[in-house]
Structure 1
């Protein structure tokens, strides 16, 4: 028997062949027929499988296969393959006599007799269990190594790390995948060697510093650590932290340098952002001028946070006005203004300043695409100009204070190639909050300065208005002194003095009324009132001013009822102020028209004139206190400028409103007063006002005048004496109490501000006097606020009279 592969020249006899087979102790050599029945079994088979030749002769190969392989038909397939293809490779688990499994590799071959006829099969096996175990261990080690490499790469990727190595002798550089990522390059590109790395990738401002750090590390063999900027292929700038270590050769000389580069852009941006906010707060705190504040806000963001920054503010008319733009290049600032004029913000746009105003929240465009520009810009030249700017990313933040949007702060990147992220939104909003506070502070400071200027004008004007009536009073008194016997002149001068004193009194009353309105302490005596009657009274009050200027006055009333629920005296004050204002600011011989219109729920009174008119910028300010002019030298008419403020306050307290219209200077003006209308049923059922009771009769009185101002006390006493009263005068509180007990007056006119005890205390002591008929106590004082009247009542006063007192009122005391 021979193998098909055996050369006839080397044919051996069976005995010799048997010796060779049995001497192959590490191999199991088994012969079988075509059905797998074993015909020979060598010593190696006994050692490897455990059965003797006697035990296995006539058995099939199934016995050395595992049960699962037998069940799967592995033996039949192997026999079939060997017979068909002359051999079948076999590497699998096999089974020994004791059931132990081992891994074996071998081959089943077809053999022939001397005539070349198939004569059976030979199976050769070798135990490879130990080798397989080593291979499995090696495979597990390799898998572990690959997993470790993957985890390392994952960690490097997560940390933005790139690993590199440089052969210092050859200059050869090796980059691991992360190095490409931190440089914005595609993995697989050729690593950039040292000279080109510095020239092409490192930011020009950092190149010298990076080279010096690496050279220093090489000189000391300690490695290096350096932070620097790199330029990505798309032009954007990123921060890296590089660390390198020197690896020596056998002689100790530097041979290799390896290290890592880590992307620290976010950290550097965060550090710069914090510095930026701190600087912004510090600089904004020092700015007080409004426009300077807006300019400073825009400049602060450039170039650290943005390449472009713009501030748009909402104007009083509701428009959005660009008030500040910043860029490092002044020429581009002018270009930005020009482009904004040619392409103003669209109020209906889905993005941009107006969308921020409408929604009151941040607008964020990470990447400004060309499609966005095409959709927004139709002019080819304008489109080309904006494309040339290379706009990259956009953030628009509302400037808000106290729940109201003041404007929009816009940030845009371009040359820096910075792409805004969600983290940048927080910084932009933080800056906007600080900017809004600065803007509010600047507005308040501007308002305070304007208020100070208005106060200075007011005080100067008040002095002027006080001197005006004082001058004729002074002159009149001088005339009376010189010609006391000229009754006609004395009467004429007396009339002048009375009118000027009345003017002074009205001036003080107006000031007090404005104060009462602003503090909510004014008292209104409302009742059903006809506007026709109110306007008739107002016209009578203002007639001297109107006639003195030779104005023509027309009144037009509606046919419908004009009843309102109002304080008639205060409403007459409102319309007389408007008529006086029209007379004052209309040139001599002008025209004043008053018209009453009836609307379903309100009545409208329009006071028109053809006078000097009102400038557009002043129309929203005319109802402010002291708003007549910015300086007394600019005033064409007298007055404190409080009349219209008083009008607006009184009308508002009646549930109405006042509007002003004017087409401009020298175009006249119109003031419209809107008042709630009183229904007919309300007018009929309203209670009729009580009729004043007639004063009680009586004869001359004993009057004690208590006043520390000697001139005032003397003149009051003189007027009372001229009316037939018996008058005594004292000048302090303690004497007033003593004199009351001795003089037993019917009336005590008691000043509040006295040099020893005040008038309130003096009144309380008078009320405690025993055995004395209590007099009528009248507080005579310059303090006329409601709380002053309350204090007087609590102290025991019967009446509270505010200086100056009408002489006729003093004379009435004789008839009480």
Structure 2
């Protein structure tokens, strides 16, 4: 029968069998051994076997049965259960011994089971630790006291390039840079001496391929119970990118400092020979090991102006080479290249190149003794005139010049050439003693303007100098400086003096296509001189009334050109009509040139200053984020590693083990969430975040999100109240991502709301949008941080003393996801301790707005909507994949055929192959934006799509953006987010396809 196999039956059956066997043996031995004298002899053995096999119950059963049987068969009077008083003590002792042995056996079995369970849990814990060790993102190594690796993980192998079996046979000394072994062992000595508990340092590892990788090593020792060191634990983080960025920043700072000092020297004197000597001294050893400056004469010979070397021995060799081997071979080709304003650049000076330069073997030997590694010869030219050359040599520093060094050297050469040009102009002016007093005065004024321009640091300051001093120098009544905006379609007035205020206000900015002299000067790059009002009226009839307003009779417009590119213009007006002679025009051109160079320099300075500020801000934010990231990732590791080690090294009761496992699981989930946030941000920044579009009921989404955070809210006694519309509120979107949006906002509200606070969630229809609001009574947001709430890696409190954890990524992810759904998200807060309100608006699904008077009318209207764009072929250009998918889906619902591409180049290829009916183009796209695309389209013949109707579909929604779109040739400007039906109607309106 089935119950025979029951464990308890087997145990009790064995007990009965043991007792029976003992009884039979004793009955068999009784005639010879008189068992009445030792009635419990074999029964005690039966109790021992039963208790050892079956535990307490089996032992007790054997004790009872043995007591009854021994008393019945072997204790006088026999065959009865009534005993003499003297036998009670013997029976009692027997029962007590049986009971005690049964208890001891039960305890032994319990201890054995507990030990087996603990051993199993310990093995599981060790397996989890091993998995964490092998899968860690940073390198981890256990190092013996002799420096050899005991254990290493996969990340360390990836950092060093060695295989596991190779690296485990090595010591840390073999991969450490020799220059850092001493400090590494010194730190290890201090740890072993217990002077410090551990250390962290940045060092270099030598990879298997010989390359160098920078790492951050954090190390500490592991001690045994006797306080003796067993081995060291090292955590290795690859910081090569950080070191490269630091090196690059130092290089840029050194270059900027060099440029500032060189510019100061060039502007400090009008004696260009002294200036060039000072520049050569500055270049050694900052940029080169020695520097040579030469000025070319009319007969193509050269005059050495400066020779500076870091090593005096090299100077003697160079002087000997110049004395014994004047330039002969290849001089003409050398000069021709410099006259073309091209640099002679040898990143690595080879033996063959030296052989070509040498005139004989002795010359070659001298050149070799210089040990030249790299060479740059830069022309000193300005306004198309070659003055000379400046040469930079790299030798003993063993530095090989790169393109960045060449760019810096060419910048210095341009500035030096400008200084030479200015100095020569000044010298020529000084030598013209018979020139008219007016010309002398103007030259002096030009120098004053030049000096003032050298001190001007911004475009506004340059414009002030030029307009104020230029008017006085030329006797003008009014003047202005205008600059071309970055997009190249708008002209902005930087400074205007002497004009009526109403005219200044009306012409603060104007398009480059405007029919006015300054705009024409910027378009053509040619100066315009208008000598009288008659000439003005003849050329610009619409400006015939201008002289009556300004009371000016003569006009001049000078282009501001830098490196062949027109960047702005100088406008001057005169009270009387006059003929602009060659001297006047030359002075104006010079003034314009100085102004252009000064503005270009100021723009570079402003750009550098702004870039530096942005870089400093970015570095600060990055450092704060990395500090927070390190803290947030390390913090959960502490309890995980701590409990894992305790479970592995000690025995604990079941409650402690459960608490340890719960702690490990909770902190592991926390790390998982942090990693998921980082992965989401990575997908967003790489444009890889995609949506699964379908109809989503926001009421269900909100309720689900609230349930997720309800436990956290209840833990803080925070009341979550909801006000959800009873209407069906549906949108087109990704249900999981929409739930992520709501969850982030609610969990953020719970996180920053103090205990006992309140969080309110609202859902309602507002116009054609579904509006979700999350309102809390928490800490609030300061006005200073409010504009940065949705930025990546930004936190209002990134200090080490902050109360709330996290990486500052949740709201940035929310902002991006909402925009991908064609919606908007905003935040409002009255300030600190005033709570915050987050408002999300998403376009409603159109089916929720259809009239419900009858199914027939609803079907008819839906059918009409579906046919609104029937047969229309649309070319959609947008670099965001999710935006393309959304608009393709919605426009195809209206019957259109949509061809979606990601760039302007792809759009032009489509136009070359087919003829769509309309073009929808985003504006902000990489390489070629929407404006540039449409200009290229409009240049095509009509039969190739040159006249295709176009709509600017963009998030640039300002008035200036509308004007630019219209000026570029778009028929409509539709700002994102856009309602799909509105977009369909806009397309139908342009194509003349109206609903009946």
Normalising by structure 2, we get a TM-score of 0.31
Normalising by structure 1, we get a TM-score of 0.37
The structure with the larger Rg is: 1
Higher strand share: 1
Higher helix share: 2
